[in-house]
A = this chain, B = another copy of it.
Amino acid sequence: MDQKGYRRGSFQSATSDEDMLEIAGASMDFSMADDDPPLDREMGGFSSYNGGGMNGTSTMMDFLEEPLPGVGTYEDFNTIDWVREKSRDRDRHREITSRSKESTWALLHSVSDAFSGWLLMLLIGLLAGSLAGLIDISAHWMTDLKEGVCLAGFWFNHEHCCWKSNTTFTDRDKCPEWKSWSQLILGHGEGAFAYILNYLMYVIWALMFSLLAVLLVKGFAPYACGSGIPEIKTILSGFIIRGYLGKWTLVIKTITLVLAVSSGLSLGKEGPLVHVACCCGNILCHLFTKYRKNEAKRREVLSAAAAAGVSVAFGAPIGGVLFSLEEVSYYFPLKTLWRSFFAALVAAFTLRSINPFGNSRLVLFYVEFHMPWHLLELVPFILLGIFGGLWGAFFIRSNIAWCRRRKTTRLGKYPVLEVLVVTAITAILAFPNEYTRMSTSELISELFNDCGILDSSKLCEYVNDFNSTKGDDLPDRAAGPGVYTAMWQLALALIMKVFITIFTFGMKVPSGLFIPSMAVGAIAGRLLGVAVEQLAFYHHDWPIFSGWCSQGADCITPGLYAMVGAAACLGGVTRMTVSLVVIMFELTGGLEYIVPLMAAAMTSKWVADAIGREGIYDAHIRLNGYPFLEAKEEFSHKTRAMDVMRPRKNDPPLTVITQDSMSVEDVETIVSSTTYSGYPVVVSRTSQRLVGFVLRRDLIISIENARKKQDGIVSTSVICFTDYCPPLPPSSPSVLKLRSILDLSPFTVTDETPMEIVVDIFRKLGLRHFSFSRKLLGIITKKDVLKHIAQMANQDPDSILFN
């Protein structure tokens, strides 16, 4: 049997030629995977699974008591059948429940089975939280390593080093134990030469980190690159990518994430943390039979793991659950909601007890505002929303264009060089500017910060008039020279971030988008905030300010503008809505600030949607040709099933198997001469009445097994899919009974059904294929549907690569 031949067949949706093209396309997409077979295939993949209650959607108490290994599993780069997986789990559950009455042991088994989901969530939360803490601490240390080293112990980061210091010093950040590279090598830190030395060390460290990262990714886990969210979305929708969530991906992604973040590239750790958490979830699934053996159940766990990932990334458990629900999950039953919440909470509290930032907060940029905002400020907030939407749409277009170029030209062949060049440019441009030199999360933290009276940062260098100050409440003040310098530097930082991020996202290192997007928005927001503040200070007699912003009052909080801007830009890029607002709300803790955030997020989404419908993740899914059926978009064309189903008018008739008249040889000929993943079984060639559906993979495995182990099965044996096989003359070879692998409940609709309904059915039930009744007229697969949608949207239908 040609094992390779049926590796990636599709349901009768394409001719053989098309199929070969697809396989070629697929190999190209996963070229690194094919060049270097990932080490994590065995464990991380979905293959270690054999049988279980393999009933499928049919009732199969009959023949095969012990299911064959492999029957009921899936090939790599294929889509699972949710209905089959779910009914298999129900069968399993039924069996355990019915057995539980028999003995105490079985009862215990049933109870432990019921609680295994919760235990799994606990473990995922603990592991994801610990890994996030580890990543935070390491990245913090290594980022500081680019600038200097701690004499009290090289493993201390700058802040930690200065805590340990006993001597008093005026500037909190300048302690004798912390030496910049020039201080260490030259003995002093002043002068042009010291500056150049520090500059050089900064660039060298950055290059070293990013080189190591890209080599590790290329060498050990090609799937560890990128943010991972597009792929996780696709996997959660039912696609199988072996090794994408395996243990090697986990290890390499964790290490390279730290390296990539520390190298100072314009990327964040938040998206990849979702991937890391999903890897944890997938690996921990192997501890429990219930989840190891069922693709649908496993995906429930992955949804919860994604929530835990966002929870630790932003310190926002509720936001994480909503993110998982809104953005990444496909099938999200309510039971999963509750469990995801639990996992997210455990993860957050694990991270908190690790306390990576030493402030018992989960993120660096947690902030508390004190002043209310005024209704008129909605105007600048909405302006920020418009900016966010424009930036989002611009970023998505440019990034996709660049990624397409990388895919199609020779550029894609030199990933290491690309990473090094981008790192070098980033580091060279970043060092001279204080706001790009610091890590992006520190920058965001500083931008969000509401200037207190003791803040020493340049952004807070206002002209103080201590007579009008009461307590900790500072009135609006005139900006000092420090603020004006900061403004210029921030403007330059903004321009740099805007362009460099386009080239960074999509390189062969782990790279998240949240933090760079937020940084762009936060800079723009802070700039606008300071501008409005100064306007209000100098012109508090203008009609728009009178009544709510008198002289000496604190009316404008530039930090809030930064936060609103961050939300707007993040919204423009990802098109998140509720989860975005809730994540931001959890960062501030004040219900009051939801309204500005919501106004900005809403405007941003509308503006961005008006320019291009897709968010960055969907755009990347389409770029990679993953078979993802978008649940949010309505199918709005007026076509009918008959326009989509195969065979078309001039095609050869559907390849079918009859229920009790074909021999083993006939079936083998059909299987080897076609590449379809499954075949309808009909009563007879003349009646064409549909009996069921049989999958290619199951068929091959069953025949192979029967030939080896069952007596009297030869090429002329008749294959029988019915309950009672017709009696044969005594001389003929024994019959091969295969009812157990037949799916007796294939879905059927009439060919007059509008495609919008067909699409809905595919989405909601998670099917792979579909028949047409009134005799067997034809068949539609998920891939046909996706191609049809692409065609209707004037896109290339051949961009859908997998089934």
Contact = CB atoms under 8 A, between A and B. Distances in A.
Nearest to A631: B334
Interface string A83-105: 10011001001100100000000
A59 to B, nearest CB: 6
Given A321-B578, A690-B774, A745 B749 contact: yes
Interface string A755-769: 011001100110000
B764 A748 contact: no
Interface stretch (A194-202, A426-434, A633-641): A633-641
Contacts of A595: 345, 349
Contact of A594 (B345, B744, B756): B345
A632 interface: yes
Nearest to A335: B632
Contacts of A341: 577-578, 581, 598
B634 A90 contact: yes
Given A87-B754, A93-B634, A765-B765, 18 more contacts: A57-B754, A87-B756, A90-B756, A97-B636, A325-B337, A326-B334, A337-B577, A338-B577, A342-B602, A345-B594, A348-B591, A689-B775, A690-B774, A744-B753, A745-B752, A745-B753, A746-B749, A773-B773
A550 interface: no
Contacts of A752: 58-59, 692, 744-745
A262 B555 CA distance: 42
Nearest to A342: B598
A331 to B, nearest CB: 10
A747 interface: yes
A390 interface: no
Nearest to A683: B774
Nearest to A687: B774
A632 B335 CA distance: 8
A318 interface: yes
A750 interface: yes
A57 B598 contact: no
Interface of A: 57-59, 83, 86-87, 90, 93-94, 97, 317-318, 321, 325-326, 333-335, 337-338, 341-342, 345, 348-349, 577-578, 581-582, 585-586, 589, 591, 594-595, 598, 602, 631-632, 634, 636, 638, 640-641, 689-692, 744-750, 752-754, 756-757, 760-761, 764-765, 773-775
Contacts of A775: 689
Contact of A757 (B57, B333, B638): B57
A664 to B, nearest CB: 25
A745 B750 contact: yes
B326 A337 contact: yes
24 contacts: A58-B752, A58-B754, A59-B640, A83-B760, A87-B754, A87-B757, A90-B634, A93-B634, A94-B636, A317-B594, A318-B582, A321-B578, A337-B577, A341-B581, A345-B598, A348-B591, A641-B745, A692-B750, A744-B752, A744-B753, A745-B752, A745-B754, A745-B757, A760-B765
Contacts of A93: 634, 636
A87 B640 CA distance: 13
B90 A636 contact: yes
A689 B318 contact: no
Nearest to A594: B345
Which 5 pairs from chain A and chain B are nearest by CB?
A745-B753, A744-B752, A764-B764, A773-B773, A338-B577
Contacts of A582: 318
A709 to B, nearest CB: 28
A615 B93 CA distance: 23
A86 B750 CA distance: 19
A748 B772 CA distance: 9
A691 to B, nearest CB: 8
A341 B595 CA distance: 11
Contacts of A773: 690, 748, 773
A214 B774 CA distance: 58
Q: Would you call the interface of chain A mostly helix, strand, loop, or mixed?
A: helix
A338 B598 CA distance: 10
Nearest to A56: B754
Contacts of A746: 749-750
A217 to B, nearest CB: 33
Contacts of A86: 760
A341 B745 CA distance: 40
A97 B582 CA distance: 33
A746 B748 CA distance: 10
A317 B592 CA distance: 11
A63 to B, nearest CB: 16
Contacts of A602: 342
A390 to B, nearest CB: 20
A576 to B, nearest CB: 10
A167 B476 CA distance: 39
A220 B585 CA distance: 44
A337 B598 CA distance: 13
Given A578-B321, A754-B87, A756-B90, A748 B749 contact: yes
Given A349-B595, A774-B689, A578 B757 contact: no
A748 B745 contact: no
Nearest to A97: B636
B748 A338 contact: no
Nearest to A601: B338
Contacts of A753: 57, 744-745
A546 to B, nearest CB: 21
A381 to B, nearest CB: 14
Contacts of A747: 749
Contacts of A764: 764-765
A361 to B, nearest CB: 10
A751 B801 CA distance: 34
A89 to B, nearest CB: 9
Contacts of A578: 321, 337-338, 341
Nearest to A598: B345
A744 B754 CA distance: 9
A642 B470 CA distance: 80
A631 B764 CA distance: 13
A631 B333 CA distance: 9
A754 B318 contact: no
A483 to B, nearest CB: 33
A63 B758 CA distance: 25
A582 B578 CA distance: 15
Nearest to A742: B752
A753 B595 CA distance: 50
Contact of A750 (B94, B598, B690): B690
Residue among A57, A333, A752 having the largest count of chain B Cβ atoms under 10 Å: A752
Contact of A638 (B94, B598, B641, B748): B94
Contacts of A632: 333-335
A783 to B, nearest CB: 21
Nearest to A586: B591
A365 to B, nearest CB: 16
Contacts of A335: 632
Contacts of A57: 753-754, 757
Nearest to A752: B744
A764 B86 CA distance: 14
A295 to B, nearest CB: 17
A155 B406 CA distance: 74
A178 to B, nearest CB: 33
A591 B744 contact: no
